[in-house]
Amino acid sequence: MSEQKVRALVVDDEIAACVPLEKFLTRQGYDVRTVFNGHDALQTAQEFHPDVALLDIRMPGIDGIETLRRLRQMNLDCVVIMLTAVDDVETALAALREGASEFLQKPVMLAELLHHIDSALEKRRLLRENEAYQRDLELKVREQTREISGMLDLLKVANIEIVRALSEAIEARDAYTRGHCGRVAALSLALGGVAGLDPRALETLEYGALLHDVGKIGIPNEVLLKEGELTGEEFEIIKRHPVIGDRILSNISFLDGSREIVRHHHERYDGSGYPDALPRERQTVSSQIVLIADAFDAMTSDRPYRGRLTRKQALETMENEAGTNFNPRLVELFLSRKLYDLEI
């Protein structure tokens, strides 16, 4: 038993039943209060905060079951042992439903009663320890979740910085395409958002859009920067850049999901694109989005081999090629939501 005395409340309308209980529990080192009706029991409980309450069931006024119910409404977690001279299964079940720990029939052996009290108090102690453990565990989980969330945020910042550095390395070779990757990423995110992509897919889309031309690092300058129309052979060299880009990203684990976008951003909706001539059903929405964003920005930008198209001409081209080059649903979203008016 702990140094602090266990507080016991004895409630019985028969004084003859209370006296031996009070004396016995006092000898066991309990701090005992005795009352003779339910009303006084509730009032005493508010001030005394018993660890254990021994309740007679049949009492005038507020009976033992109602006293138990009101004790529980007071949020007292004391152990309650019901004592009765009547062997009534329904009453016993009612007491247990209201939260009684034990239901004992009078007369009860004092040693047996002490055993039941000790067992119930030990059960309460274990429940309290478990609740405290659960609270502590939940607190630790919340703290660790916050820490992990913070680390993930830092990792995302680091990842996007790596991706932007790679995209800038691409554009550093060609003054004509400076800012192209960033504009394609912004247009792709806007179109992906209205197309219903979830946050994780949008993150993958952003990485893929920023890096869609990373493979051009492996294209010779005389082809990449050539002024004027490319020969058939030169165009075949240019067409290698999606595969080169896919290979460049193959050892960067956090870009695994974006590799598909890099490889397939030139796959046409009708299946006649490159490098894999993918049929429509094997193309992803993300790669189709980047295809549209890339084409629109390319058409409205100056290139070494041609001048830019007007916005009207570019939009007419996209509308005319919906269903062949471009996914018609995505083109409709791009046009109807006026995503081409984005401030980038």
- pLDDT digit string, tens, across residues 44-73: 999 999 999 999 988 888 988 999 999 988
User: What pLDDT score was predicted for residue 49?
Assistant: 92
Half-sphere exposure of residue 250: CA atoms within 13 angstroms, side-chain side: 9
57 in Cβ contact with 95 (< 8 Å): yes
Q: How far apart are CA 16 and CA 8, in angstroms?
A: 18
Residue tagged 């042992």 (tokens): 81
Overall average pLDDT of the 330-337 stretch: 96
Domain boundary among 113, 134, 155: 134
> In terms of domains, do 328 and 212 share one?
yes
In-domain check, residue 155: no
In-domain check, residue 113: yes
> In terms of domains, do 194 and 257 share one?
yes
Q: What angle do CA 196, 342, 331 make, to 5 degrees?
A: 50
Mean pLDDT of the chain: 89
b/e code 67-89 from CB counts within 10 Å (16+ = b) = bbbbbeeeebebbbbbbbeeeee
> In terms of domains, do 85 and 177 share one?
no
User: What pLDDT score was predicted for residue 186?
Assistant: 95
> In terms of domains, do 236 and 120 share one?
no
> In terms of domains, do 202 and 300 share one?
yes
Q: How far apart are CA 268 and CA 276, in angstroms?
A: 10
> In terms of domains, do 181 and 330 share one?
yes
In-domain check, residue 127: yes
> In terms of domains, do 184 and 80 share one?
no
Domain boundary among 134, 151, 183: 134
Q: What is the pTM of this model?
A: 0.61
pLDDT, tens only, 129-150: 888 888 888 888 888 878 877 8
E strands, the chain, are 7-11, 31-35, 52-56, 79-84, 102-105
Instruction: Please compute Rg for the chain using Cα positions.
Output: 39
245, β-bridge pairs: none
The whole domain housing 91 covers: 7-134
Distance of CA 327 to the CA centre of its chain: 33
Domain boundary among 134, 157, 190: 134
Overall average pLDDT of the 248-255 stretch: 89
User: What pLDDT score was predicted for residue 131?
Assistant: 86
> In terms of domains, do 183 and 72 share one?
no
Q: How far apart are CA 153 and CA 146, in angstroms?
A: 10
At 53 the three-state DSSP class reads strand
Listed ranges 14-23, 50-59, 261-270; the one with the highest mean pLDDT: 261-270
In-domain check, residue 230: yes
| Calculated CA dihedral for residues 140, 141, 145, 151, nearest 10 degrees | 50
Q: In terms of residues, how long is the chain?
A: 344
In-domain check, residue 166: no
CATH classification of the domain holding 177: 1.10.3210.10
At 13 the three-state DSSP class reads coil
120 in Cβ contact with 101 (< 8 Å): yes
Cβ neighbours around 155 below 10 Å, total: 11
> In terms of domains, do 55 and 201 share one?
no
Q: Does the pLDDT value for residue 344 go beyond 70?
A: no
In-domain check, residue 145: no
Q: How far apart are CA 44 and CA 49, in angstroms?
A: 8
Per-residue CA distances from 172 to 36, 175, 178, 214, 221 (Å): 92, 7, 7, 11, 12
**Which of 282, 289, 328 is CA-nearest to residue 204?**
289
> In terms of domains, do 178 and 127 share one?
no
* Confidence tier at 1 by pLDDT (50, 70, 90): very low
* Confidence tier at 273 by pLDDT (50, 70, 90): very high
pLDDT, tens only, 69-86: 999 888 778 999 998 877
80 in Cβ contact with 53 (< 8 Å): yes
Domains of the chain: total: 2
In-domain check, residue 148: no
> In terms of domains, do 21 and 128 share one?
yes
In-domain check, residue 202: yes
Q: How far apart are CA 211 and CA 68, in angstroms?
A: 70
Q: Looking at this protein, which amino acid is placed at residue 3?
A: E
CATH classification of the domain holding 73: 3.40.50.2300
> In terms of domains, do 240 and 127 share one?
no
- Sheet with 31-35, edge to edge strand ranges: 31-35, 7-11, 52-56, 79-84, 102-105
